[in-house]
Amino acid sequence: KKHRISNKKIKEEDGEDDISVIKPVTEHEKILAGRKKLPVFPYREEFLAAVKDHQVLVLVGETGSGKTTQIPQYLYEIGYAELGKIGCTQPRRVAAMSVAARVAQEMNVRLGKEVGYSIRFENCTSEATKIQYMTDGMLLREILTEPDLASYSCMIIDEAHERTLHSDILFGLVKDIVRFRSDLKLIISSATMDAEKFSKYFDDASIFMIPGRMFPVDIYYTKSPEADYVDAAVVTVLQIHVSQPLNGDILVFLTGQEEIETATEILTQRTRNLGSRIPELMICPVYANLPSEQQAKIFEKTPKGARKVVLATNIAETSLTIDGICYVIDTGFNKQKSYNARSGMESLVVTPVSQAAANQRAGRAGRTQPGKCFRLFTAWSFQHELEPNTVPEILRTNLGNVVLMLKSLGINDLVHFDFMDKPPSDALIRALEQLYALGALNDLGELTKLGRRMAEFPLEPMLSKSVIASEKFECVSEVLSTVSMLSLGASVFYRPKEKAIMADTARMNFARGGGGDHISLLRCYSEWVATDYSNAWCFENFVQVRSIRRARDIREQLESLCERVEVDHLVSKPDDNDAVLKAITSGFFYNVAKLGRTGDYQTVKQQRTVYIHPSSVLAKEEQPPPWLVYFELAFTTKEFMRQVAPIDPSWLVEIAPHYYQPSDVEDSKNKKMPKQRKMR
Ligand code: ADP
Ligand code: MG
């Protein structure tokens, strides 16, 4: 009995009763009432006083406490926007867009007016913009043109605990900027972890804590390791759905778009088979390239009598808060970049998460009521196999892009740059070597004219080099289309299971005429343009309309950047595949593999065995090309090359004579190989 009374009391304190007395009428009033219920709200005045007293503040609060959506509004409400914009960075584009949309809604303004966002290839801000959300990469770009951030009065580096490469570089830069801009307020905002470390790095900055409201979460492990975690996740979703009370949604952590699409498909099928025997299940995928119309769906209220299941990448770990989640299913994996500085190989690898990340994920279940977390790995594995903390990206990535950016900011001495965690020196050296090989740096390590032009593009150095090289091969227009398609980050083709054969045929049609994946992408784009951007053509050819439209947006941006560096984007050489592939090779001569006698490919310089990704148009080729250039490596079951095109090895000596000797590219068939001794 006593227990019930105390329960009721909590309810009253929660403000439930106030709300029912003064019932909000309009949708907007409901939103305003919701703002006042967030954990950060009672600390509004205290927080604003702290900002007034300190130039740099470390802000810590559990995910969902209101840091991202409320803090910029608080600063706006007391007039900081009159002194300059209020900026807030996010590690992911989806988060930047979705949070900006939410805040615009809370402030009752049109997105892009007072509240806007800017992400790579998409600027949704205007003269009127006062609160600007952006990716951390975009802020880095802004610093290139505005080194003192003069147009800002406050800058919030949000999700600092994620320690993305761009955030880590930003820390070093903004730490310097606040020294000569005493009027700039800097807030480093993070979900619980590592607050002390941030404080220490920013010269013992004060820490402002928002006490969390967390409910207990019971954690369950599997008894033995799961062979197929996607399937295990689907089974667990259905088990929860049929056995647990309906008022609690499910959040599943998977590693990427492909897995999420597979899981969505299986779940749809199985629930369809079960029909009306189970309550409705609303399936919502979330990943980085999800179009914005679909993003809104994850925040929709679950209809009565139904349950929502959100299938997400680690974007839902801390960047996005979805209300109503009570069950978390954690596969224990995410996709991480990994870089071997010695070999210069970078690849995306499905990696076990850290203990800290697993605990964050579990925490998502206990935001509004006690929850349950199902870990699809064993307790032993959690304790003995998972690292305590996620390794910051700067320690496991190719630094080419940021080194180029820092160099163009005039920061030449990278060894003494104030990194929070210093990247390994062989990774730094490797990046310098690579930029030197691309011609972006001279032998004194200074930026060349080419390097300066490359730095204008928000692309990896290899891609920007290809764009600039296309001028020489007189195929700028074609290379821009190819690079835009390559930059999508996900496949432009879709392949529904029930129409897989038709989809494959459509895709292979683009491959006809040779030139591998790069030229197929180019043909696809050009045909679409020739049909006057026809949607019907996309449906017929199994091309995702929204992806190819995005390619067009990217291309338009690259065109205007070309103008800035005086590359004529109209220069075109239709149907000369070799010219296009030579321009690509000018950027990607590092990424070349050669067919060995065993039928496997080996990278030319490091002699690593690699395979053509099954999604490539060259995957089923009866006579695989002897030499390939590849766009990237992805390690899943094997080391796969994604997006490959055949090249003529003689180009390598022509294009990159400083990197390839004629002996490197001699045809293996002509070379006598020593007889292999039979072991046994
Ligand atoms: P934090 O940054 O501390 O993790 P947020 O400011 O992101 O917290 O979230 C505060 C609240 O705003 C959460 O309850 C969340 O559900 C809500 N919210 C955030 N984005 C959206 C959105 N796009 N639609 C609806 N609600 C949202
Ligand atoms: Mg946040």
Q: Flag whether pLDDT at 490 surpasses 80.
A: no
Give me ligand 1 centre to Cα 64, in Å.
6
Picking from 548, 467, 514, 484, the residue whose alpha carbon sits closest to that of residue 617 is: 514
**Per residue in 113-131, pLDDT tens?**
999 999 988 899 999 999 9
615-636: average pLDDT: 91
**Residue owning tokens 């290839």:** 121
Given a cut of 70, is residue 673 above it in pLDDT?
no
Instruction: Return d(Cα 262, Cα 264) in angstroms, integer.
Output: 5
Q: What's the rounded Cα separation, in Å, for the pair 306 and 139? A: 41
Residue 531 CA to chain centroid, in angstroms? Answer: 32
Q: Residue 219 Cα, ligand 1 centroid: separation in angstroms?
A: 25
Ligand 2 centroid – CA 624 distance (Å):
48
**Across 239-243, 457-461, 660-664, which has the greatest mean pLDDT?**
239-243
Distance 103 CA to ligand 1 centre (A): 9
pLDDT at 676 over 50: no
Per-residue model confidence as pLDDT tens digits over 629-652: 999 888 777 889 999 999 999 999
pLDDT of residue 603: 92
For a mutational test of ligand 1's pocket, the pick from 40, 41, 102, i.e. the residue with the most ligand atoms closer than 8 A to its C-beta, is 102
User: Which tens digit of pLDDT belongs to each residue from 141-151?
Assistant: 999 899 999 99
Residue nearest to ligand 1 atom 10, measured at CA? 66
CA of residue 69 to ligand 1 center, whole Å: 6
Atom of ligand 1 nearest to the CA of 65: 3
* Structure-model confidence comparison of residues 298 and 343, the more confident one: 298
Q: Is the pLDDT of residue 313 over 50?
A: yes
Residue of minimum CA distance from atom 27 in ligand 1: 102
Helices (H) and strands (E) in the chain, counts: 26, 21
Q: For residue 670, is pLDDT > 60?
A: no
**Band of residue 412 on the pLDDT scale cut at 50, 70, 90:** confident
* pLDDT above 90 (res 532): yes
pLDDT of 678 reads 42
For ligand 1, the distance from its centroid to the CA atom of residue 337, given in whole angstroms, is: 28
Minimum-distance ligand 1 atom for the alpha carbon of 61: 3
The token duo for 82 is 């009159």
Neighbours of 24 (CB within 10 A): 14
Q: HSE on the CB side for 457, CA within 13 Å?
A: 29
Ligand nearest the Cα of residue 92 is: 2
**Nearest ligand atom owner, CA of 99:** 1
Window from 9-18, 45-54, 355-364, 621-630 with minimum mean pLDDT: 9-18
Nearest CA to ligand 1 atom 18: 321
Which helix (DSSP H) or strand (DSSP E) does residue 422 occupy? Answer: none
**Residue 653 in tokens:** 């000596």
- What pLDDT shows up at residue 367? 86
**What's the pLDDT band for 193 if we cut at 50, 70, 90?**
low
- Confidence label for 325 from pLDDT (cuts 50, 70 and 90): very high
The residue nearest atom 13 of ligand 1, judged by CA position, is 64
Nearest CA to ligand 1 atom 25: 299
> Ligand 1 atom closest to Cα of 158?
2
Name which of 374, 82, 99 is nearest 221 in CA terms.
374
**pLDDT, tens only, 369-398:** 899 999 999 999 999 999 998 899 999 888
Average pLDDT over residues 477-496: 91
pLDDT for position 496 = 82
Best CA proximity match to 489, nearest among 424, 554, 542: 554
pLDDT band at 494 (very low <50, low <70, confident <90, very high): confident
Closest CA to 551 of 493, 469, 592: 493
Q: Ligand 1: which residue has its CA nearest to atom 15?
A: 321
Ligand with minimal distance to 60 CA: 1
Ligand 2 centre to CA of 364 (Å) is 13
Q: For residue 130, which of 139, 117, 148, 120 has the smallest C-alpha distance?
A: 117
Q: Which ligand is nearest to the CA of 159?
A: 2
Query: pLDDT value at position 12?
Result: 36
The top-scoring range by mean pLDDT among 23-32, 35-44, 602-611, 628-637 is: 35-44
Please give the number of the atom of ligand 1 that sits closest to the Cα of 62.
Answer: 3
Once rounded to an integer, what is the mean pLDDT over residues 653-664?
Answer: 89
Q: Which of 321, 364, 369 to mutate to test the pocket of ligand 1 (most atoms within 8 A of CB)?
A: 321
CB-based contact 187:59 (threshold 8 Å): yes
For residue 34, which ligand has an atom nearest its CA? Answer: 1
Centre of ligand 2 to C-alpha 63, Å, is 6
Is it the case that residue 259 has pLDDT exceeding 50? Answer: yes
Q: Which ligand is nearest to the CA of 192?
A: 1
Please state the atom number of ligand 1 nearest to the C-alpha of residue 40.
3
**Cβ neighbours for 20, distance < 8 A, ≥ 6 positions apart:** none
What do you get for the CA distance between the two ends of the chain, in Å? 79
Instruction: Strand 249-253: give its sheet, edge to edge.
Output: 217-221, 371-375, 325-330, 249-253, 306-312, 280-286
- Closest ligand to C-alpha of residue 72 is 1
Determine the average pLDDT of the residues in 218-244. 94
> Ligand 1 atom closest to Cα of 367?
14
Residue 319 has what pLDDT?
82
What pLDDT is stored for residue 3 in this prediction? 28
Q: Residue with structure tokens 């808060």?
A: 321
Band the pLDDT of 5: cuts 50, 70, 90.
very low
pLDDT category, 667, cuts 50, 70, 90?
low
- Closest-CA residue, ligand 1 atom 21, reads 102
Tokens for 595, please give them.
Answer: 């067919």
The pLDDT of residue 240 is above 90: yes
Atom 22 of ligand 1 has which residue's CA nearest to it? 102
Q: Tell which atom from ligand 1 comes closest to the C-alpha of 70.
A: 6
Name the residue with the closest Cα to ligand 1, atom 5: 66
How confident is the model at residue 341, as a pLDDT? 67
Ligand 1 centre to CA of 63 (Å) is 9
With a Cβ cut-off of 6 Å, ligand 1 is lined by 38, 61, 63-70, 98-99, 101-102, 299, 321, 323
Instruction: Give the pLDDT confidence of 151-168 residue by residue, as tens digits.
Output: 999 999 999 999 999 999
Residue 1: its pLDDT value, please?
24
| Nearby residues of 398 by Cβ (< 8 Å), 6 or more positions away | 339, 344, 346, 427, 430, 431, 434
Question: Which ligand is nearest the CA of 162, by number?
Answer: 2
Comparing 609 with 599, the larger pLDDT belongs to 609
Q: Which range is most confident: 2-6, 336-340, 413-417, 451-455? A: 451-455
358 Cα–ligand 1 center, Å:
21
Q: What is the structure's pLDDT at 230?
A: 95
536, two tokens: 């019907």
Distance from Cα 586 to the centre of ligand 2, integer Å: 41
* Whether this model's pTM surpasses 0.90: no
Would you state the pLDDT for residue 344? 65
The pLDDT score that the predictor gives to residue 343 is 63
pLDDT at 258: 85
Q: What pLDDT sits at residue 339?
A: 78
- Give me ligand 2 centre to Cα 95, in Å: 8
Pocket test for ligand 1, best of 69, 98, 319, 325 (most atoms within 8 A of CB): 69
Q: Is 660 helix (H, G, I), strand (E, B) or coil?
A: coil
Going by the DSSP 8-state scheme, the letter that residue 326 receives in this structure is E
Report the mean per-residue pLDDT for the chain: 89
Kindly state the percentage of the chain with pLDDT values over 70: 93
**What is the pLDDT confidence band of residue 338, given thresholds at 50, 70 and 90?**
confident
Of 9-13, 323-327, 525-529, minimum mean pLDDT range? 9-13
Contact 225, 260 (CB under 8 A): no
Return the pLDDT at 296: 79
Residue nearest atom 6 of ligand 1, based on CA coordinates: 66
pLDDT of 86 > 50? The answer is yes
For residues 300 and 102, give the distance between their C-alpha atoms in angstroms, rounded to a whole number.
Answer: 12
Determine the pLDDT at residue 546.
85
pLDDT exceeds 80 at position 514: yes
Cα-to-centroid distance, 155 and ligand 1 (Å): 19
Alpha carbon of 591 to ligand 1 centroid (Å): 42
> Residue 262: exposed, middle, or buried by beta-carbon count in 10 A (0-12, 13-18, 19+)?
middle
> Is the CB of residue 374 less than 8 Å from the CB of residue 348?
no
Distance of CA 335 to the CA centre of its chain: 10
Q: Please say if the pLDDT value at position 601 is more than 80.
A: yes
Query: What's the mean pLDDT in 265-292?
Result: 88
Tokens of 623: 């006579």
Residue 225 clears pLDDT 60, i.e. is over it: yes
Position with higher pLDDT, 471 vs 212: 471
Q: Is 443 exposed, middle or buried (0-12, 13-18, 19+ CB in 10 A)?
A: exposed
